[in-house]
Structure 1
Amino acid sequence: MKKSIGRSSFILLCVAPAVILFTVFMILPTINVFRMSLFQRGAYSPGETFVGFDNFIYLINDAQFIRSMQNTILLIVVVTLITFCTALVFAAILTRENVKGQNFFRIVFYIPNILSIVVISGIFSAIYKPENGMLNSIIGLFTNMSNPILWKGEKLVMVSIIIAMVWQAVGYYLVMYMASMSSIPESLYESASLEGASRFTQFFQITIPLIWTNIRTTLTFFIISTINMAFLFVKSMTSGGPNGASEVALGYMYSQKDAGLFGYSMAIGVMIFLFSFALSALVNKVTKRDVLEY
């Protein structure tokens, strides 16, 4: 009896600091965001007026917010698809084809992930410069460029951000999938080859199903983290410009706070939170399948 009480006390003592910190710095601030979204308050004013759901009513009719959410969803969908497809294909090639220098390629692909977002944004901003950027300079070798391409103009700014985000993220997931694929027994592929299965068929019938748990977990985390990553890239590269063409939801939330609309910015924060939660639940539901063992 005494041993049981002592063990329970020890477990409680170990868990208590983490629970307290999580409550103080996560749970209570989240609850407070929901509360403040129901008030009208300036960013630096102690006074607040209860307005109920007026902030949310205004929000769903706010064209700028809708545009920022559209940009956020675009980045989530496109960056996720390109990143994961690229990571899976290159991981399969480097794992199955016995490419020499696998460790070298792992390091090279992983390097962008350890760089700061600000550094990556600076690199790509230099590449995209219309006058003497590397991209326009290379294109100029093959064609006459009297009018330089504006890679960060309204038409191409989202494409430019997508390229930078994919370049930063793909190496991390490539390394993770290489580790998962290397644990699949080679005998499975040999049996499939004897049955006449092509490399393409083996990839979709053996590789993908056997690492699906890893794909599903990383997919959920990546989709949610993309909301934050999109804000960091946009803030560093374009600050939401030009003319709001690259503005994302988190960036718009901060701009409203800076404009003194603190309660409204909290309402935007609540919408982003609910969107993230619903998206996470949807991804988990759609990607759920029986776990295959070997």
Structure 2
Amino acid sequence: MTALKKVWRAHSGPYSMVLPCLVFLALFTIYPLGWAFKYIFYEYDGFSPATFVGFDNFVRLFTRDDLFWRSVWNTLIFAFGKLIVTLPVALILAVILNQKIFARNTLRAIFFMPTIISTAVISLVFYLMFNSYNGIVNKMLLQSGWVDQPVEWLGIDYAIITVILVAIWGAVGNYMVLFLAGLQGIPNDLYESASIDGANRWQQFYHITIPMLGPVMQVIVMLAIVNTLKGYESIMVLTAGGPANRTEVMYLYVYKLFFPISEGEAVVQQYGYGAAVGFVSALIVGVITGLYLYMTRKTAQTN
């Protein structure tokens, strides 16, 4: 106890500032995770007494729940479609807006603006824009003669493309700012030396910018992968996982098990099964992220 008192007296300031964060972390992260992990092995609907079922929830998940594995596949499609466009566009915008151009700060603010707007609001606006019958997108296409009849943007054929486009629009500005932070850490002397040696813009980008951004880029891509695999809010507003489960993603499926949100879903919450599905979903995200970090571990080394 004496040693603890000495440590507290010596570092009471930093510990006092960290303590509120630790309290909130325990209350709103660790405790809920512990609660959910407990009910992985129970059948529980929030009202009736919990019934211990052992590994039955996992047996159901791996043998009888085709919808979950459909949601995993949809999540991978959604993540690939979003990231393959978002990250290159964000990097290009960051490189452009890192130059001394007219209205640079204004353009940065414009591209970053979608990040600070509520996801629900953005999704509702796009829902109205992509409405099949009176949406502005179809009106413009019809008036321009590009299509002869309204396109079912949120229908079976195009729903996944639409939700990917909305996700790209909302995410580009966020990753652009992160890339900008990395670019501003690269010394200008390197570019000046390269210019003197006769290197053009493309050569400077390939031989200086990309290697020097390696450690930062690894972190940015990792955050993008995790956020995309976990994301479901915009899809919930736009399609609620439909039509015909074409846009059902992992964490939206978990959400529905805890809080049924549409007709055709179970009217009773499935907390126990939802906890098991959430655990497996988190494991999938962790494995994908771990594989990415393992395959890109060399980029974390400073060149």
Supply the AA of the counterpart residue of 2:171: A
What is the CA deviation profile of residues 244-283 of structure 1, one whole-angstrom value per residue up to 9, with x for unaligned ones? 1111112212222333322111111111121222233223
The match for 1:166 is: 168
1:22 Cα deviation from its structure 2 partner: 1.9
The match for 1:32 is: 35
Supply the AA of the counterpart residue of 2:38: R
Matched, 1:85 2:85: no
Stretch deviating more after TM superposition (138-147 or 203-212): 138-147
What is the CA deviation profile of residues 151-178 of structure 1, one whole-angstrom value per residue up to 9, with x for unaligned ones? 1111111110111111111012212322
Mapped partners of 1:35, 1:255: distance in 2: 19
1:81 Cα deviation from its structure 2 partner: 2.4
Mapped partners of 1:228, 1:243: distance in 2: 21
Partner of 1:234, secondary structure, is helix
1:60–1:127 CA distance, 2 compared to 1 (3 A): same
Mapped partners of 1:10, 1:131: distance in 2: 61
Matched, 1:111 2:113: yes
The match for 2:302 is: 292
1:74 Cα deviation from its structure 2 partner: 1.7
What is the CA deviation profile of residues 52-86 of structure 1, one whole-angstrom value per residue up to 9, with x for unaligned ones? 21111211231111111111122222212211110
The match for 2:233 is: 232
1:287 Cα deviation from its structure 2 partner: 2.4
Supply the AA of the counterpart residue of 2:219: T
The match for 2:263 is: none
What is the CA deviation profile of residues 166-198 of structure 1, one whole-angstrom value per residue up to 9, with x for unaligned ones? 111101221232233234233312322343433
Match of 2:285 among 276, 279, 287: 276
1:144–1:113 CA distance, 2 compared to 1 (3 A): closer
1:113 Cα deviation from its structure 2 partner: 0.8
Q: What are structure 1's unaligned runs of at least 5 residues? A: none
1:266–1:84 CA distance, 2 compared to 1 (3 A): same
Query: Any residues of structure 2 matched to 1:179-190 within 5 Å, and which?
Result: 179-190=181-192
Matched, 1:241 2:242: yes
Match of 1:191 among 190, 193, 200: 193
Given the two structures, how large is their TM-score scaled by the length of structure 2?
Answer: 0.87
The match for 1:175 is: 177
1:113–1:5 CA distance, 2 compared to 1 (3 A): closer
Mapped partners of 1:241, 1:156: distance in 2: 11
1:152–1:191 CA distance, 2 compared to 1 (3 A): same
Supply the AA of the counterpart residue of 2:239: T
Mapped partners of 2:97, 2:24: distance in 1: 42
1:125–1:14 CA distance, 2 compared to 1 (3 A): closer
1:26–1:108 CA distance, 2 compared to 1 (3 A): same
Give me the identity figure in percent. Answer: 31
Q: Contact 2:79–2:225 at 8 Å: present in 1 too?
A: yes
Match of 1:66 among 62, 66, 69: 69
1:292 Cα deviation from its structure 2 partner: 2.9
Mapped partners of 2:227, 2:151: distance in 1: 31
Supply the AA of the counterpart residue of 1:80: L
Q: CA RMSD in A?
A: 2.3
Mapped partners of 2:134, 2:15: distance in 1: 61
Supply the AA of the counterpart residue of 2:289: S
Partner of 2:203, secondary structure, is helix
Mapped partners of 2:290, 2:216: distance in 1: 17
Count of aligned pairs: 290
1:110 Cα deviation from its structure 2 partner: 0.8
Matched, 1:23 2:23: no
The match for 1:101 is: 103
The match for 1:44 is: 47
Partner of 2:301, secondary structure, is coil
1:32 Cα deviation from its structure 2 partner: 2.3
1:9–1:126 CA distance, 2 compared to 1 (3 A): closer
The match for 1:134 is: 136
Q: Contact 2:178–2:220 at 8 Å: present in 1 too?
A: no
Mapped partners of 1:156, 1:66: distance in 2: 21
1:121 Cα deviation from its structure 2 partner: 0.6
Q: Contact 2:42–2:53 at 8 Å: present in 1 too?
A: yes
Mapped partners of 2:199, 2:302: distance in 1: 19
Given the two structures, how large is their TM-score scaled by the length of structure 1?
Answer: 0.89
